[in-house]
Structure formats: structure tokens, C-alpha cells
Structure 1
Amino acid sequence: MKESIDKNGKKRNNDRGFWQVWSIKVHRMIRFVTNDMWRLTDEDVSGPRWVTINAMKSVFLSVRYFDQNDLATKASALTYRTVISIVPMLAVLIGIAKGFGLQQYVRDWLKEYLPSHQAEFDQAFGYVENYLMQVQGGLFVGVGLIVLLYTVFALIADVEDTFVSIWQTQKRRPWKRRIIDYTGAFFLMPVFMIASSGLTLMMTTVQGTYFSEYIFFGPILSLILNLVPYVTIVLLFTGMYMALPTVRVHFLPAFIAGTLSGIVFQIFQALYMSGILWISKYNAIYGSFAVVPLLLLWIQLSWTIILFGAQLSFSIQNVRKFAFEKDTSKVSRRYMDFITIVVASLIVKRFVSDERKPRTIDSLAMESKAPIRLVADAVHRLQSVGVVMEVNYAPDTKIEYFSPAMDPDKLTVGLVLDKIDRCGSESFKVDRAAQFFSQWKLTEATRSGHFLPPADTLLRDL
């Protein structure tokens, strides 16, 4: 134990001082991560510090909501659905590719990008051929074909519903739109696979012919070839994170999440292929049956990576919504009513002005300078009482726009507060007519000013 002498000649324990200093630093760090950094806005920080703080917030939110949304359990559910849908999905994909004479390219692409599952793919392709032969022979025409397509579409619908829950929205695509989108995706997948394989083949040919004599270009082309699988999977993940949610996802959050998830997915693939993870252990336990738990583990972890990436893209895009999070969760009723009136007046004033574009939650938060989460809660309150409604504004239907749901000449401050006050059920057995008559009347009396000046001021006049 280290000791030193202080000014008074007494021995001082340096180890205790060292641990006290680090304890204080750790407590400060915990307080900053859990409280202080959520009170910092874009106006308070800028530059590299702004990037660092937003990155910390995004990771913190992703981990927290991954647990709160129970995404590990949802990954397990999607694993089950995937196992059920593997053969039907391959049948639809290869059937479409076969119509263009491209089925071999699709097979080669799948084997190239998932080389650790050669045996499973060979077996699955055998089942697929049987499916397609029976369809051509008429055995699956009608009900069988409908069941086949339903199995495939149900998997994608489950994935979309999971993304909807991650993005905390109630919007869902109608089935007609889903069928059109999913069918288009299946037609585009073979094109994507062939383009990726063609790019790899072209780079290999160029490396082996035109630049084989140049020492400088060889390593560069080799590096590019090694990066092609990473670029392909990053683009695939980015497209998925942008297309599947029913709200508008900006490119940058989707790209960052797609890049991180894609790289982790490829690293996991490399570890899986090299036999570092589980293979020797499960072969010893299960023997030739080991392919089943290995496949399940691979699908489970793949979905876990994908869903965490989706949660990360949500966190990056919506990190501003969680400013003053602890304060917004404890906001007073009076202040919430105030924010609601501010939001309602901004929506109404935009509607009666010459500007045609309706309000969005982001524009309301920017103009009012209120925390965006409070603004979103206020909009939802106004929607629930029928004061405002969501409207479509072409060309982007994924952004939520809001306009008044009532005549602006009738929307007063008191009317809005009265509607909010009365929202919900009052049909309970509490005796308001006799036993608790005084309490009920006094409660009503506190609301009697809703329709008297100045509460009768129109929102458009504020």
C-alpha cells in the first residue's frame, strides 16, 4: 500500500485517494450518460462533440429499446417462420429466375454468399425442384399455389410488422400494397444477385488478365474483390432498413445501421465458416443431425443482427426526440395543456394561411422549440379528441402531415381543453348524484371557464 506524508506530517493513503478519484469519475460518467447528455440539444454542442454525443445517445437507445421491445424473442419467432418458409421462398425466387433462364445464377449467388450452408442449400434446391415440377404438373395449381405464396408473404409481413413496432408507429401497409411491393421485390432480387455476381466475375477477370503484370494494381484489385461481399450486404441491409418501415427513413441512418450490421453479419459469417463457433461441439453431440441446431443458431443470430440494426437506424434518426427525456416523462398537466394549445394553434394557423403544405411533427417542434416528444404527444392527444387529423400530402406518403379536423372558426382554446378534459370513459359506479355530489360539482366548477372570455379565443387568432 502506497503512503505519503501530508503538510501536517501525517501519513496519507494514496491508494484510497486513487480509488476515490476513479469512483467520482465513474459516477460522473454514469450521471452524464443517464441524465446530463439528454439535456444537451443541437444548439448547445456542435462539431465532433455533437457527433460523439449523438452516437452515444443512439447506442444507449438501441440497447435499451432492444431489451424493452423484446427483439430477441421476436428474432426467435422470425427464426421459426424462416425455417417454415425457406423452401417456399426459394421456390418463388428460383421460379421467377427460371422464367428468365437465370436460375443457375441465383443458385451460384446463394452458395457464394452463404458458403457455410452448401449441404443445406443442395437439399433445399432438391425440394424446390420438386415444388416447381409439381406446380408445372398441375398438382399445386389453385389452393396449393396460394398456400405457397401465403407462406412467403406471411414471413415478409411478419418482418414488416416487427419493423413497425421498432419504429413505434401505428401505420401499416394495406394488403394490396404489400402484395405489389413484395412481388416487385421478388422480381428485383434475381437482378440484384446477378449484378453482384457479374461484378465479382468482372473484377476477377480484370485482375487475372489486364492487370496481372502490374504489381501495384494486383493488391488493390484483390482488396476490392474481398470488399464486394461486404458492399453487397451493406447495400442489401440499407435498402431493407429504408423500404420495410411504413414511415420515411432517411438514407444516412439506414446506411450507418446497414454498414454496421452488414459488417457484423459478414464477420459472423466468416467465424461460422471457419468452424470457430459451435461446429465441433455440436457435431460431437448431435452427429449428422448437427446441421439442424447449427442452422437454427445461424438464422437466430442473423435475425438478431438485422433487428438490432433496425433499432439502431430508428435511434439515429429519432435521437432528437429523446432530448429532456426524463423531464418530458414528468411534465406537469398544466404545461402539457399549454404545449397542446401551442401545437393546435400552429396547425390551425398554417391551415388558414396561404401556405398549402400542412404541418409535420418536426416542423411544429422546430417552430415552438419544444421537445419533439412533447409535440408528438400533443398531436396524438389532439388526434384522439378529433381536433386534428392526419392528411396525405403528395408525393411522400410516408411523412405524417396534420390539419384541423374541425372548422377553424369554431376551434377555441376552451373547446380544445374541454374536449381533452372529457376524453375517455366516465361510466363507473361512483355515486355522483348523491354521496359524492359536492365533489363532482366542484370539479365541474373548475372547468366552467372553458367557454368564457378569454378562453373563447379562436386558435387562428393567437
Structure 2
Amino acid sequence: MDKTLNKFVASYLWSDKVVHYSAWKRKLIDVLRLLYVVLDDLTKGELTLRAMSLVYTTLLSLVPMMAVSFSVLKAFGMHNKQLEPVMLQFLAPMGAQGVEITEKIIGFIDNVKIGVLGTFGVALLFYTAISLIQKIEATFNYIWRLDQHRSIGRRFADYGSVMLIGPLLVFSAIGLSASVLSGGVVQTLSSHLPFVQHLIAFATEAAPYLMIIAAFTFFYMFIPNTRVTFRAGFVAGVVSGILFQSLGWGFGSVVVSASGSGTYAIYSGFAILILFMMWMYISWLILLVGSSVAFYVQHPEYIAPVRRSGDLSIRQRETLALQVMAIIAQRHYQSRKPFSASDFVYRLRVQIQGVTRVLGALRAAGLVAEDHEDPPRYLPNVPLEKTSLKTVIDAVRNDGSVPMIALRVPRKPVHGVAEVTAAIDAALEEALASTTVRDMAIDDEEVAVDGGGVSAGVDRN
């Protein structure tokens, strides 16, 4: 059993008495459960370890990524100095040191001359920039329990569009909002209607917070290699935005302002670099915690004090395999769009690791096949009216089996075991061999066959 943060708190939050609470108390318990599992994941150390890894990758990739991104802005008449407000906003908790770091980063970008790098240099520059987003995706996929990553083509297409078009859209949005707020119509209305003036002042104050929340929401919806709902991304974006502003204020007040002691006294001239790395670590940790929040909001079946790894027993995998084959058969005979792995998760309300493992076992046994979509959808690979349920069960039971190691001295059999396993196989064969996947999944009364076509009378999904 997985270790839990606090057994007493877990037993209270997941008590059977919760169902008898009032509606607002149940909502509060749901929030506390979400907070508990996020803190539990945080204390296990994997998120902090990955945040440290991202800090190292960021130090290597920051300047190349920005050089690639803002080279596009120069083509539209923008200059790197226009990057300064965005960098200052991010490094605001570092105070005067943030201004110094911003100037140095912009100086590095100005010194990068993409035109004189040559083909190999430009390719290396793009690879270094894309490697950062690729590492972020791998971390997000770990949080979202995903085994499949984007293909090489999709990585270059998706990440390249983010690096080339993203900055242009951001600065266009900033310029558009500034021109709207300073436009003649808005100024005229504010002079005649006092509340418009207060509204403009509020919008000006709230703009940085809204931009941070929007940026976090975009990350949570775009980076994972799965479909993330807007609700999950937005909730995580709000949580991350609040954490970013709160911890930024705390970092600036407690760490950076202690100029006479602490970090400055220990590291002296290296203090700026150390503080920058510390703030980068906090920022990455906030991003990963928010991604964890988005995952649990979208997959509440994982909100449990233990066993969030998605491991299933043999019996659970057998049941899941039968359910998956039944759904594949139903959608096949009803001429409906096949399911992806995420669709099976939403339909069956099970954890994604169990679904991917069962699909892998069925695919290895040749019972199902993937199409060419990304992410792939699953189709029957055998005639379902001739495939017995015993074959499906055997595919799961044999998953991950390896041949026995050959020894010079033959093994001495254990008395009675062979007879028991043979009896189990014979019982399964007798019970399931005559029942096919189609027999299990489709009722003849619900399916009307007209000529060569099959039409469903009832949507069983």
C-alpha cells in the first residue's frame, strides 16, 4: 500500500460519513481532498526533483529559445526592448536584481545573430530551444500518467508554432488592450461616466494577474499530450496565478530584501545567480503543482489517499479488458467513431494506467489495432463474432510474461500446482470458449441488420 501523508487526516476526509453531510460541507471536503492529494504528491519528492531538472534545462535553453522566438518579432518591427516589461513582470520578486538580470538576458539575445550561425548553428539553436518544451511535456505527461508522447513531427510543428507565433500573439494582445484603454471613445466615456474611469483603473491593475492566469491556463491545456478540459485548465491557472503572486511577494519580502545577511552574505558576488535559480525553481514548482491540480480536477477518480499509481489486480484487468472489448465491438457494429485511450477513461471512469496497460495487452495479442490518428483510436483486429472471451482473458493473463530461464539442472516441479492450473484453464475454457465478444457486447434485439449494413437501435454508451 502506498504511504499516505497523514493517516488520521486521510481517514477523516475519506470517511463514509461524508455522504451524509450538507452540500456545502461535501464541497469543502472535496476541496480538502484535492489539497491533500496534491500535498501528498509534493511530499513524495518527484515533483520537486523534476522542478530542479527543469531549472538546469532552463539555464541552458532560455537565451536560445528567446532568440528564436523574438527573431520573429523583429520581422514585424518589434525590438527586444519590448520584451523588457514581460521579463520584469516575471522577475518582479527579485527587485533591483530582477532589473539587472533582465538587462543581461536582453543583451545576450541582442548578441545572438541568427543570420551568421549557418545551417548547423540554426538547427542547433532550434534543438536547444525545443528541448526545453520537450522536457516540460515529459514532466506534464508524468503528472498526467501518460505513456505516449508526441511524435517528432508534431513536436516540431506544435513547439515551433508556440515559439514563433506565441510571442507575436502576446505582444499583439498587449498592444491591442493598451490601445483600447487609451482610445478616444473610452476616454470620452470615462470623462462623463465616473464608473468607467474606475473600471479602467481596475482593468489596468488586474491586467498582469489576468495575463498570468491566462498563460498558466494555456500551458495546462496545450502541453500535456491529451485533451485537457477548459475547466481543469482554468481552475489550475487560477490556483497557479494566486500561488505565483503570493510566493513572489514572499520571496521578494523575505529572501531578496535580506541584503545584509542570508544569501548575500553567503554567496557574495554569486548571490544574483543563486537568487535567480531559486526563483526559477519556485516558478517551475508552481507550474507543476498547478498541472497536478488540473489532472485531479479532470480525473477525480485519482483523488484517493493511496494507490494513485493506477495499479490494478489481475481480476480488475480481466474485467477492464472485457469492458474495453465490449465497447470496441459496440462502436464497430454501430458504425460509430472508435474510442481513444482517454475516451475509455471517461466512459469507464478508471485510471489511465490500467486502460493503457490493457490496451497494450490486447494489441500485443492481436485483438485490437491502432489507427493513424494522434492520439490513436482502437479498432478490432479480428472477427469479433469468432473471438471467444477466453481469448480476451488469456491476452490479459499472459501480458508481461517472460520465458523461464533455462537451467542446466531441470527444475523439480511443485506437487499439485500443475493440476490446479490445468483445472483453472479447463474451467475457463468450458465457461467462456463458446461465448464470443459479439455475443457479450451486442443484443440482437437492439441491432437491426438491413442488407449489408448494421444500424444501432440503442446507444449503450
| TM-score normalised by L of structure 1 | 0.79
Q: What is the correspondence of 1:25-174 to structure 2 with a 5 Å cutoff?
A: 30-34=10-14, 36=16, 48-49=24-25, 51-68=27-44, 70-104=46-80, 106-114=82-90, 115=92, 116=95, 117-132=98-113, 135-136=114-115, 138=116, 140-174=117-151
In 2, are the aligned partners of 1:79 and 1:299 still within 8 Å (CA)? Answer: yes
Find the aligned partners of 2:7 and 2:141 in 1 and give their Cα distance.
Answer: 36
TM-aligned CA deviation for residue 222 of structure 1: 1.9
How big is the shift at 1:427? 1.6
Amino acid at match of 1:165: Y
Q: Which of 329, 334, 337 is the matching residue for 1:354?
A: 334
Deviation at 1:35, TM superposition (A): 5.4
Q: How far off its partner does 1:428 sit? A: 2.9
The counterpart of 1:382, out of the listed 362, 366, 373, is 362
* Matching residue within 257, 263, 270 for 2:242: 263
The alignment partner of 2:334 has SS state of coil
Number of equivalenced pairs: 424
SS at match of 1:403: strand
The match for 2:277 is 296
Query: Are 1:225 and 2:225 an aligned pair?
Result: no
Please point out which of 166, 169, 187 is paired with 1:188.
Answer: 166
How far residue 411 of structure 1 moved from its aligned partner, in angstroms, is 1.4
Using the alignment, how far apart are the partners of 2:418 and 2:7 within structure 1? 51
| Residue 391 (structure 2) aligned to one of 412, 415, 419 | 415
Specify which of 408, 426, 429 is matched with residue 448 of structure 1: 426
Q: Counterpart of 1:447 in 2: which secondary structure? A: helix
Q: What does residue 225 of structure 2 align with?
A: 246
Percent identity between the two aligned chains: 23
Report if the CA contact (8 A) 2:310-2:351 is conserved. Answer: no
- C-alpha separation between the residues in 1 aligned to 2:131 and 2:349? 42
Question: Structure 1 CA distance, aligned partners of 2:357 and 2:254?
Answer: 50
| SS of the residue 2:39 aligns to | helix
CA offset at residue 265 of structure 1?
A: 1.0
Distance in 1, Cα, partners of 2:268 & 2:360: 56
- SS in structure 1 at match of 2:66: helix
Is the contact between residue 279 and residue 294 of structure 1 (CA under 8 Å) also seen in structure 2?
Answer: no
Instruction: Tell me the SS of whatever aligns to 2:382.
Output: coil
Partner of 1:457: 435
Rounded to whole Å, the distance in 2 between the matches of 1:456 and 1:369 is 30
- C-alpha distance in 1, partners of 2:308/2:71? 55
- The 8 Å contact of residues 221 and 229 in structure 2, kept in 1 or not, is answered as yes
* 1:299-356 Cα distance to aligned partner (Å, 9 max, x none): 01000000100111011101135579769989764465344334423332332x2241
Q: 1:218 to 1:98 in 2, by over 3 A?
A: same
Write the distance in 2 (CA, Å) between the matches of 1:273 and 1:76.
20
Q: How far apart, CA to CA, are the structure 2 residues paired with 1:448 and 1:421?
A: 15
Q: How does 1:198-213 map to 2 (within 5 A)?
A: 198-200=176-178, 202-203=180-181, 211=190
Report the secondary structure of 1:87's partner residue. Answer: helix
Q: Assess, with a 3 A threshold, how the Cα gap between structure 1 residues 290 and 194 changes in structure 2: closer, same or farther.
A: farther
Structure 1 residues 214 and 269: CA distance shift in structure 2, 3 A? farther
Counterpart for residue 288 of structure 2: 307
State the alpha-carbon separation in 2 of the partners of residues 80 and 445 from structure 1. Answer: 57
Higher deviation after alignment, 171-180 or 109-118: 109-118
1:143–1:179 CA distance, 2 compared to 1 (3 A): same
Larger mean CA deviation between 123-132 and 431-440 belongs to 431-440
Distance 1:435 1:32, change over 3 A: same
Alpha-carbon offset, residue 77 of structure 1 = 0.7
Q: 1:445 to 1:173 in 2, by over 3 A?
A: same
What's 1:14 paired with? none
Between the aligned partners of 1:289 and 1:326, the Cα distance in structure 2 is 43
In 2 relative to 1, CA 389–432 (structure 1 residues): closer, same or farther, beyond 3 Å?
Answer: farther
Query: Is the CA contact 2:321–2:396 (under 8 Å) kept in the aligned structure 1?
Result: no
Whole-angstrom CA distance in 2 between matches of 1:126 and 1:437: 74
Distance 1:438 1:432 in 2: 18
Cα-to-partner distance string for 1:199-251 (whole Å, 9 max, x where unaligned): 24643677877636765444432222111000001111101100000011000
- State the AA in 1 paired with 2:75: G
TM-score by length of 2: 0.79
Find the counterpart in structure 1 of residue 457 from structure 2. none
Segment drifting more, 45-54 vs 156-165: 45-54
CA distance in 2, matches of 1:28, 1:275: 33
Within 1, Cα distance between the matches of 2:312 and 2:194?
66
Distance 1:331 1:403 in 2: 24
User: Which whole-Å CA distance do the structure 2 matches of 1:148 and 1:370 have between them?
Assistant: 42
Bigger Rg over Cα: 1
Relative to structure 1, is the Cα distance of residues 177 and 331 closer, same or farther in structure 2, using a 3 angstrom cutoff? closer
Aligned-partner Cα distance in 2 for 1:123–1:192: 22
| Other structure's SS at 2:227 match | coil
CA gap 1:32/1:340 in 2 versus in 1, 3 angstroms = farther
Whether 2:282 is the aligned partner of 1:318: answer: no
Structure 1: gaps of 5 or more residues: 1-25
The alpha carbon displacement at 1:268 in A equals 3.0
Moved more, 413-422 or 60-69: 60-69
